[in-house]
Amino acid sequence: MKLVTAIIKPFTLDEVKAALEQLGVLGMTVSEVQGYGRQKGHTEVYRGAEYSVDFVPKIRVEVLVDDAAGDKVVDAIVSAARTGKIGDGKVWVTPVDTVVRVRTGERGTDAL
């Protein structure tokens, strides 16, 4: 299994969610983060104003997927989160040894 993590612009979350649902992805976890990339945030626009500090608010999206779905999930997030402007975000994939569904104790891909 894999964990796909994406740092995206907050206003793209609905599109990212819809794209994942279209792929049949059944769960996700989101949280609020702040960050900057190569331009140090200086020229990114947030809520209509240029953001004058380094850190710009972003959303982290995390999706546990089986190995076979990893590439499709990455591509779906990348295209749903893309506006073409700087600061659109990063997506990365990390290995996962085990997943367990707490309610049932199911493990592995059955737990997704």
Ligand X SMILES: Nc1ncnc2c1ncn2[C@@H]1O[C@H](COP(=O)(O)OP(=O)(O)OP(=O)(O)O)[C@@H](O)[C@H]1O
Count residues near a copy of itself (CB under 8 A): 53
Told to check if 24 binds a copy of itself by CB under 8 A, we report: no
Tokens of 13: 């979350």
- In this structure, the number of other CB atoms found within 10 A of the CB of residue 57 comes to 15
Q: Which residues are CB-contacts of 77 (< 8 A; sequence separation ≥ 6)? A: 4, 6, 8, 16, 19, 20, 61, 63, 91
12 within 8 A of 83, measured Cβ to Cβ: yes
| Least gap, CB of 57 to a copy of itself (angstroms) | 11
| Least gap, CB of 80 to ligand X (angstroms) | 14
Identify residue 14 by its one-letter amino acid code: D
Binding Mg ion (rule: CB under 5 A), the pick from 37, 72, 82, 111 is 37
- Looking at the Cβ atoms of 2 and 58, the one nearer to Mg ion is 58
Summarize as ranges the residues that interact with a copy of itself (CB under 8 A).
1-3, 6-8, 17, 26-38, 54-55, 58, 60, 64, 74, 77-78, 81-103, 105, 111
